[in-house]
A and B are shown apart, each in its own frame.
Chain A
Amino acid sequence: EPEVTQTPSHQVTQMGQEVILRCVPISNHLYFYWYRQILGQKVEFLVSFYNNEISEKSEIFDDQFSVERPDGSNFTLKIRSTKLEDSAMYFCASSENPTGHYGYTFGSGTRLTVV
Chain B
Amino acid sequence: AQSVTQLGSHVSVSEGALVLLRCNYSSSVPPYLFWYVQYPNQGLQLLLKYTTGATLVKGINGFEAEFKKSETSFHLTKPSAHMSDAAEYFCAVSTNTGFQKLVFGTGTRLLVSP
Contacts and interface: CB of A to CB of B under 8 A. Distances in A.
A108 B43 contact: yes
A99 interface: yes
B101 A56 contact: yes
A91 B99 contact: no
A25 interface: no
Nearest to B101: A45
A87 interface: no
Contacts, number: 69
B63 interface: no
Given A33-B101, A91-B43, A108-B42, A42 B106 contact: yes
Nearest to B4: A42
Given A42-B105, A103-B34, A98 B46 contact: no
Contact of A42 (B45, B49, B90, B95): B90
What bracket does the count of chain B residues touching chain A fall in? 20 to 34
Given A43-B90, A99-B96, A91 B101 contact: no
A30 to B, nearest CB: 11
A75 interface: no
A35 B95 CA distance: 18
A76 interface: no
Interface string A42-84: 1111001010000110000000000000000000000000000
Given A48-B99, A56-B101, A103-B49, 5 more contacts: A43-B92, A91-B44, A98-B98, A99-B100, A104-B34
15 contacts: A31-B99, A41-B106, A42-B104, A43-B90, A43-B92, A48-B99, A99-B32, A99-B95, A99-B96, A100-B32, A101-B51, A103-B46, A104-B34, A105-B46, A109-B42
10 pairs of A and B residues whose beta carbons are closest in the complex = A108-B43, A106-B44, A98-B99, A43-B104, A42-B106, A100-B94, A45-B101, A55-B99, A109-B43, A99-B100
